[in-house]
């Protein structure tokens, strides 16, 4: 990643992409199934908009993501991850009705992390319905170098105190990948995850964990108006995740006690 590379990639910044579609209710139902969320009892699933405006069919790279050079620049760093997001929910989305999505890459910022070079991309998304902004989201995408293999977390002797627990399974990861058209192979191809990206197992999607945290909050308080989350450490299929809610916010803890995600809702 050279200064010339970064200057070239900046050409992708600030170019809005507009898409229109009729919001498909069954897509949201499949997303709810992946979360094990009871739509009849609880309504629209947390972060259900992630099942909408899915990437159109097209070529995929070796990691399963869409080939770079379309919406995202052809970044040379090999690894890409969804690091966090901030959402504002202004009005409920209506399934079966048309809507518009505006998406724009607003910035690219090179950084130096513990494992090497990083590139942070900020993506702003708006979903419009009936002439009004229904939802705003700011996503943080990170591209990074290869890093040393990650060991499988060793469970702590005693389970952490939690308000809820869930153990993501390979099937749940598959269903979530399908519901969100996420082709990243670390979520369903264990051989690729370990041999190519150095993980000890299938990696749990950050937005899947975030949706569980938001669901914990919404079961108590009803639909949120705002939500934000930041991933801090990877989680793996087959290992329990503790969800905690307090006045200081929301947390997802790995089985070894490491804070894997922080979040806040209101």
Q: What is the pLDDT of residues 52-109, one digit of tens each?
A: 999 888 899 999 999 989 999 999 999 999 999 999 999 999 999 999 999 999 999 9
**Token output for 81:** 């991850």
Boundaries of domain holding 35: 3-265
How does the average pLDDT of the chain come out, rounded? 95
Is residue 142 within 8 A of residue 173, CB to CB? The reply is no
> What does the pLDDT average to over 262-266?
97
Determine the distance from the C-alpha atom of residue 43 to the mean position of all C-alpha atoms in its chain, rounded to a whole number. 21
Confidence at residue 159, expressed as pLDDT on a 0 to 100 scale: 80
DSSP, residue by residue, 222-245: -S-SEEEEEE-S--BTTS-EEEEE
Identify the three-state secondary structure at position 195.
helix
Confidence (pLDDT) at 56:
86
The whole-number pLDDT of residue 112 equals 82
**Which residues share a beta bridge with 242?**
165, 253
As a whole number, mean pLDDT of residues 207-225 equals 97
Q: What is the pLDDT of residues 111-168, one digit of tens each?
A: 887 778 899 999 999 999 999 999 999 999 999 998 889 899 999 998 888 999 999 9
pTM, two decimal places:
0.95
Distance between CA 262 and CA 259 in Å, rounded?
Answer: 7
Give first-to-last CA distance, the chain, whole Å. 39
Q: Tally the C-alpha atoms within 13 A of residue 65's C-alpha that lie toward its C-beta.
A: 18
pLDDT of residue 236: 98
Q: How many domains does the chain have?
A: 1
Looking at the chain, how many residues does it have? Answer: 266
**Who's near 101: CB < 8 A, 6+ residues apart?**
18, 19, 20, 21, 52, 53, 125, 126, 127, 128
Task: Kindly state the average pLDDT of the residues 43-52.
Answer: 96
What does each C-alpha distance from 235 to 70, 147, 185, 195 come to in angstroms? Answer: 29, 16, 15, 17
| Reported confidence tier of residue 174, pLDDT bands at 50, 70, 90 | very high
* Residue 251: CATH number of its domain: 3.10.129.10
Confidence class for position 262, pLDDT limits 50, 70, 90:
very high
Q: With 80 as the cut, is the pLDDT of residue 190 above it? A: yes
Percent of the chain predicted with pLDDT > 90: 88
């Amino acid at each position: 990643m050279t200064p010339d590379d970064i200057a070239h990639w900046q050409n992708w910044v600030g170019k809005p992409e507009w898409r229109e579609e009729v919001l498909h209710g069954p897509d949201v139902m499949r997303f709810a199934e992946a979360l094990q969320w009871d739509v009849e009892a609880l309504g629209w699933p947390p972060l259900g908009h992630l099942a909408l405006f899915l990437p159109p069919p097209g070529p995929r790279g070796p990691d399963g993501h869409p080939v770079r050079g379309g919406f995202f620049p052809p970044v040379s760093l090999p690894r890409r991850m969804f690091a966090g997001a901030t959402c504002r929910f202004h009005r409920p989305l209506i399934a079966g009705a048309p809507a518009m999505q505006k998406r724009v890459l607003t910035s690219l910022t090179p950084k130096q992390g513990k494992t090497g070079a990083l590139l942070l991309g900020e993506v702003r998304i708006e979903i419009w319905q009936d002439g009004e902004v229904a939802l705003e989201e700011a996503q943080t995408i990170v591209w990074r170098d290869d890093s040393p293999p990650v060991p499988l977390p060793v469970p702590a002797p005693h389970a952490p105190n939690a308000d809820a627990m869930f153990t993501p399974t390979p099937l749940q990861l598959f269903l979530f990948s399908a519901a969100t058209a996420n082709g990243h192979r670390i979520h369903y191809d264990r051989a690729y995850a370990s041999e190519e990206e150095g993980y000890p197992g299938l990696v749990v999607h950050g937005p899947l964990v975030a949706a569980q945290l938001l669901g914990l909050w919404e079961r108590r308080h009803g639909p949120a108006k705002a939500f934000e989350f930041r991933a801090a450490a990877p989680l793996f299929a087959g290992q329990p995740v503790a969800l905690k809610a307090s006045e200081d916010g929301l947390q997802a803890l790995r089985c070894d006690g490491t804070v894997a995600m922080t979040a806040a809702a209101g």
